[in-house]
Chain A
Amino acid sequence: MDMPLLRPSQAGIKKNDDIYIELAPGGQGLRIELTSTVEPLYGRRIRELIAQTLRGLGLENAAVYAEDYGAMDFAIRARVETAVERAGGEA
């Protein structure tokens, strides 16, 4: 099941311990562009978590731009969920 996104959306704040997420509809598969203060250590893990959360919400196709400021898993999941909800998907 692929849940379509109806419009671009944002969630999160560009501050320590948070992650800023932009979601846009379209494309083939999940395309995730990430900048992170902890990219060398956790970049792969953050990308996986974003993708896992999106797929868990039924999204297979979307463009994601993420700016991470050291967010923990709970915050990453929550911001992705909020972005999906704001994009008109079901969270």
Chain B
Amino acid sequence: MLRSLLFIPGNAPGMLLKSDFLQADQIIFDLEDSVSQAEKDAARTLVKSFLREMPLKKARASVRINDISTPHWKKDLEAVAPVLDGVIVLPKSERPEDILAVEEHMRGLCEGPIPKIAALIETAAGVERSFEIANCSKNLCALLLGGEDLSLNLGCRRTKESGEISYARYRLLNSAASAQIPAYDTPFTDTDDGEGLQRDCRCARAIGFSGKLAIHPSQVFAINREFSPTPEEIDYAREVLEAIRVSEAQGRGVASLRGKMIDAPIVKRAQRLLSGLDG
């Protein structure tokens, strides 16, 4: 189950070393915003060396490269793609061509299968083309929402209530669902506001996000908790499947539970919830 995706600055050896012990489901080693222009070369070499010599054992690995309008993205891929057992995160993904360009460049670098790609959508154009992006490649494994850059692009104030990115959230969810891939919500940037983070997680989970990006290790625990099924949800899912099993054993076409008919979507939702517990 992938719930928390934690950014770790790519040019900080100490942070790289700690990354696997922070309880995050996925680490995103960052070569973009957290790395100054003068240190781009050093960061990509450091992340390459780390991935090659100290592969993560607990968390899944991913690397956020620089976006394709920069002179850095190809060098980033050349450094990390051959040693990455994980996912490339492409920031400012705006068009299917962006994803395909990354995919094409990686094919020339990797002997075996190329890493999957997650599209970080953080511009108005990206939001509008998210359906085409989500469905452009079988290597595209997730959509991520970046609310800070998006609100900058929209020219609006970023608020904790996130009303300004509601449209983007729903649009991304719809696009991701159309491609049967998960969507992950934008980070909550006030690292001192635990209640705000909890509210934001609940809102995101309620509308269909599978998890959330994190910008500080202190956010991981809350994100994991809020995006995990509750014991009540797990019990209910098990009861649903048991009710169906009994109903089928008795040759009945339909089942009911707690006074409600159990139909196919309820069964599928229960199966999905329980299967997520295994991964």
Q: What are 5 residue pairs bridging A and B, where the CB atoms are less than 8 Å apart in the complex?
A: A13-B11, A74-B54, A78-B50, A81-B49, A82-B45
Residue in contact with B42 in the complex, picked from A17, A72, A74, A78, CB distance below 8 Å:
A78
Q: A17-B13, A17-B17 are in contact. Are A85 and B45 (CB under 8 A)?
A: yes
Of A12, A13, A73, the residue contacting B53 (CB under 8 A) is A73
Whether B14 pairs with A16 at a CB distance below 8 angstroms is yes
Determine the chain B residues whose CB is within 8 A of the CB of A71 once the complex forms.
Answer: 13
Contact of B49 with A74 in the complex, beta carbons under 8 Å: yes
With both beta carbons as reference points, the residue of chain A lying nearest to B51 in the complex is identified as: A74
Contact B45 A72 (CB under 8 A): no
Query: Which residues of A lie under 8 Å from residue B41 when comparing CB positions?
Result: 82, 85-86
How far does the alpha carbon of A41 sit from the alpha carbon of B14 in the complex, in Å?
A: 20
Check: B212 CB closer than 8 A to any chain A CB: no
User: Contacts A15-B14, A17-B13, A17-B14: A75 and B42 contacting too (C-beta < 8 A)?
Assistant: no
Q: Which of under 10, 10 to 19, 20 to 34, or 35 or more describes the interface residues of A?
A: 20 to 34
Instruction: Looking at the assembled complex, report how far the CB atom of A54 sits from the nearest CB atom of chain B, in whole angstroms.
Output: 14
Residues from chain A with a CB closer than 8 A to the CB of B95 are none
Q: Which residues of A contact B42 (CB under 8 A)?
A: 11-12, 78-79, 82
Contacting residues, chain B, for A82 (C-beta < 8 A) = 41-42, 45-46
On whether the beta carbons of B45 and A74 are closer than 8 Å, the reply is no
Q: How many residues of B contact A (CB 8 A)?
A: 15
Among A11, A78, A85, the one with the most B-chain Cβ atoms within 10 Å of its Cβ is A78
**Contact between chains at A78 and B14 (CB < 8 Å):** no
Q: Which of B84-104 contact A (CB under 8 A)?
A: none
Closest residue of chain A to B11 (Cβ to Cβ) is: A13
Task: Decide yes or no whether A55 CB sits under 8 A from chain B.
Answer: no
* Distance of A71 Cα from B49 Cα, bound (Å): 13
B269 at the interface (CB under 8 A from A): no
> Judging by beta carbons under 8 Å apart, are A74 and B14 in contact?
no
In whole angstroms, what is the CA distance A17 to B50 when docked?
A: 13
With both beta carbons as reference points, the residue of chain A lying nearest to B14 in the complex is identified as A17
Task: Give chain B interface residues in 22-55, CB to chain A under 8 Å.
Answer: 41-42, 45-46, 48-50, 52-54
Q: Kindly name the residue among B41, B42, B48, B53 whose own CB sees the greatest number of chain A CB atoms within 10 A.
A: B42
Residues of A within 8 A of B (CB): 11-13, 15-18, 71-75, 77-79, 81-82, 85-86, 91
Distance of B18 from chain A, by nearest CB (Å): 9
CB B55 to nearest CB in A, in angstroms, measures 11
Indicate if the CB atoms of B13 and A77 lie closer than 8 Å. Answer: no
A71 smallest CB distance to B (angstroms): 6
Q: Is the CB of B45 within 8 A of A81?
A: yes
CB neighbours of A91 from chain B (8 A): 45
Docked pose: A31 CA to B118 CA in angstroms: 45
CA distance A15 to B49 in the complex (A): 18
Q: Residues 5-17 of chain B: 1 if any A CB is under 8 Å from the residue's CB, otherwise 0?
A: 0000001111001
- Additional 7 contacts, C-beta under 8 A, given A73-B53, A78-B50, A79-B42: A17-B14, A17-B17, A75-B13, A75-B49, A78-B46, A78-B48, A85-B41
Taken together as a complex, chains A and B put the C-alpha atoms of A75 and B42 apart, in Å, by 10
Contact with A along B169-199 (1 / 0, CB 8 A): 0000000000000000000000000000000
Known contacts A82-B41, A85-B41: does B17 contact A72 (CB below 8 Å)? yes
Taking CB atoms, residues of chain B closer than 8 Å to A75 are: 13, 46, 49-50
